[in-house]
Structure 1
Amino acid sequence: MHTEEIKFPSEGLNCAGTVYRPDGEGPFPAVLLSHGFGAVRGMRNIPEVATALASSGILALAIDFRFLGDSEGEPRQQVLPDAQRQDLRNALTYLESRDDVDAARIGLWGTSFSGGQSIQVAAFDRRVKVLVAQVPATDLYRQIRFSAPPEQRKIIDDAIASEYGRRFRGEPPATMKLADTADAQSVFGPESYEWATHNGAEHPQFHNAVTISSLQEAVQTAPGDYIEAVAPTPLLIIMADPDKTVAIDYTKDAFDRAGGPKKLIAIKGLHYDAYDKPETLKEATEAARTWFVEHLAPSQP
């Protein structure tokens, strides 16, 4: 296996990516991997999943969404669902264009926020032949509006309301930390603080912040509403239990409504254990690798 740093165009901007290419000539089946809310492609567990796939003969492409990481786009630190879904579609087109990729055997893997967005992409883009959604945010609309603690909902609602005037006056967008201590306001709260802190230290491209206007977009997303349309694409959902970051009741409901073939794996642990806890990371990585190997196997003559 070897890696290659690439750029691909997405709506007039260049997105950064890392290709994990198996040994041999190809063409190989391929999987597109995307990161969570405000994250970057080098953060665990994306390299681990990509390496496992390449070691199994599957080319993997991990990307940074526009406005984040090494990708272009201003203002920085925007998480825009429509833009991210378009980035995924453009990355799929890039994979199709490569001589070492079998365009008839392309899969999609997303985690957390992009796990949900990947469900919506796969529901309408039949180029996706296999889907893995890890700890996916399937319904932030209902989670924030009806399930989040009132104090956290108020933080987000007040921040969104405060941004309208700034945008009207043409001022630069305000930002909020993704995670902070319990005595400070942040998007995800203290539950995510350790994750944000050590990733900020390890990955200079990652910044513990997101634009307030991104929150306005994110709280309206409910990609699980489209999950029935994913079938007959094989679907694997890897869920953390208990997950204190995304509400797993919505994940279970979405899975129940999905058509087959489908599989739900509940790994014991919290949301970030799938990234940072070695045994949980290994379990989630192996589950994804096995699903892609099974469903992206070479066509029989």
Structure 2
Amino acid sequence: MPAIRQREKTRFVSSGTSCAAWHYPGSNGGCVIMAGGTSVTKEPASDLFAARFHAAGFSVLAFDHRRFGESGGTPRQIVRFDEQVADWHAAVDYAATLPDVDPDRIALWGFSLAGGHVFRVAADHPRPACAIAQTPLVDGRAVAPHALRSMTPLAALGLFGRGIADALGGLVGRPPLLVPTAGVRGTVAALTTPDTMDGDRALDPDGRHTTWEQTVAARIALRIGGYRPGRHASRIRCPLLVVVCDQDQSVLAGPAVRAAANAPDAEVLHLTGRHYAPFLEAHEQAVEAQLAFLRRHLVDGAHR
């Protein structure tokens, strides 16, 4: 097997906006495109899993959605679902041009909100050979009531008040009103479920990602309930691995299991633990299952 080179920074264009990415050159022709949810940038989102995929010979392209991290786009910290899905499409097209990548052996990998995006991209883009959705947000309508019950009434009023003010301010060009992406119950934050505060321990245990801005424009509170990417599951033609955590309090396991049942070629991996368990106590189980899935569809399947 050829020597595996270290990762290198690169950029690609999505609808006129420059998106920043890490490219890990691989040796087996397969490529895994990776991104994280809400305000999670490419390093905390992908470093732990990307290192294992890369060591197994896969190329990795881990990117920041526009308006976040090192990618372009203003105003900053605003989640617009259609924009982020367009960034995924652009990432797939860019990955297909990389010299170490077989264009017919590209996989998608996303977690949380980006895991939901994976459903849409896998349904609409003809190129992906397989896809992995880890603890995906597939049905905002099903999750929103649980998220609201995790907030105190005063904090919920504060969040939606800021969301309305943020949305109205955006119409007249005011800067976004930002809230923490995660917070403890009683604080005004985008999410205050019991497991949301596991994020730092899971994604940045050593505090290395000092430029990771863990905020989001408050208008997301008005829109997340209407985001239902799991509805696209029946149109996904590539093999799909859905990883759920049975004690997940942030996106819940049930909606993802139901969405996977509607996909023509899907399998579900159940893990014990909360939303971030694949980065913590269930990491080995998660990564070994994902590597086996990638080998089966990007390496063994290609040989057949």
Q: Distance in 2 between matches of 1:102 and 1:118?
A: 20
Aligned residues between the structures: 293
Q: Select which of 209, 214, 220 maps to 2:226.
A: 220
Which residue of structure 2 aligns with residue 39 of structure 1? 40
Letter in structure 2 aligned against 1:255 = A
> In structure 1, how many angstroms separate the alpha carbons of the residues matched to 2:145 and 2:80?
19
2:197 matches 1:193: yes
- 1:241 maps to what in 2? 246
Counterpart-to-counterpart distance in 2, 1:249 and 1:41: 27
Q: How far did residue 193 of structure 1 move?
A: 2.8
Conserved 8 A contact 1:119-1:224:
yes
Once the 2 structures are TM-superposed, how far is the Cα of residue 134 of structure 1 from its aligned partner? 0.3
SS in 2 for 1:18: strand
Cα distance, 1:55 vs structure 2: 2.1
SS of corresponding position for 1:43: helix
Partner of 1:266: 270
Deviations 1:169-208 (A, max 9, x none): 4321211111223332111116323424874943123112
Q: Structure 2 CA distance, aligned partners of 1:238 and 1:4? A: 28
Q: Percent identity?
A: 24
* Equivalent residue runs for 1:1-301 within 5 Å: 1=4, 2-22=6-26, 24=27, 28-43=29-44, 46-145=46-145, 148-149=148-149, 151=153, 154=157, 156-189=159-192, 191=194, 192-196=196-200, 199=204, 201-231=207-237, 233-260=238-265, 262-275=266-279, 277=280, 279-297=281-299, 299-300=302-303
Partner Cα separation in structure 2 for residue 217 and residue 181 of structure 1: 21
- Quote the Cα distance in structure 2 between the aligned partners of 1:286 and 1:139: 27
Q: 2 CA distance for matches of 1:91 and 1:164?
A: 28
1:36 maps to a residue whose letter is G
Shift of 1:14: 1.3
Q: CA deviation at 1:48?
A: 2.5
Distance 1:153 1:139 in 2: 20
SS class of match (1:183): coil
What amino acid does structure 1 have at the position aligned with 2:213?
Answer: H
- CA drift at 1:54: 1.9
Distance in 1, Cα, partners of 2:104 & 2:239: 14
Residue 215 of structure 1 and its aligned partner are, at CA, apart by 3.5
Question: CA 1:164–1:76 in 2, change beyond 3 Å: closer, same or farther?
Answer: closer
Q: Please list the CA deviations of residues 152-177 of structure 1 after superposition, one character each: whole Å capped at 9, or x if unmatched.
A: 76554433323343234432121111
Aligned partners of 1:4 and 1:18 also within 8 Å? yes
TM-score normalised by L of structure 1: 0.89
Alpha-carbon RMSD across the aligned residues, in angstroms, is 2.2
Offset of 1:116 from its aligned partner? 0.5
Point out where structure 2 has 5 or more consecutive residues left out of the alignment.
Answer: none
- Give the SS at the match of 2:104: strand
CA offset digits 1:16-36 (Å, max 9, x no partner): 1111223x5x6x111101111
Q: 5+ unaligned residues in a row in structure 1: which ranges? A: none
For 1:65 and 1:154, locate their aligned partners in 2 and report how far apart those are by CA, in whole Å. 29
- Deviations 1:67-92 (CA, angstroms, capped at 9, x unpaired): 11111111111222111111111011
Distance 1:265 1:217 in 2: 29
Mapped contact 2:147–2:250 kept (Cα < 8 A): no
| CA–CA separation in structure 1 for the residues paired with 2:248 and 2:199 | 14
| One-letter amino acid of the counterpart of residue 119, structure 1 | F
Deviation at 1:252, TM superposition (A): 1.7
Tell me, in whole angstroms, the C-alpha distance in 2 between the residues paired with 1:222 and 1:266: 21
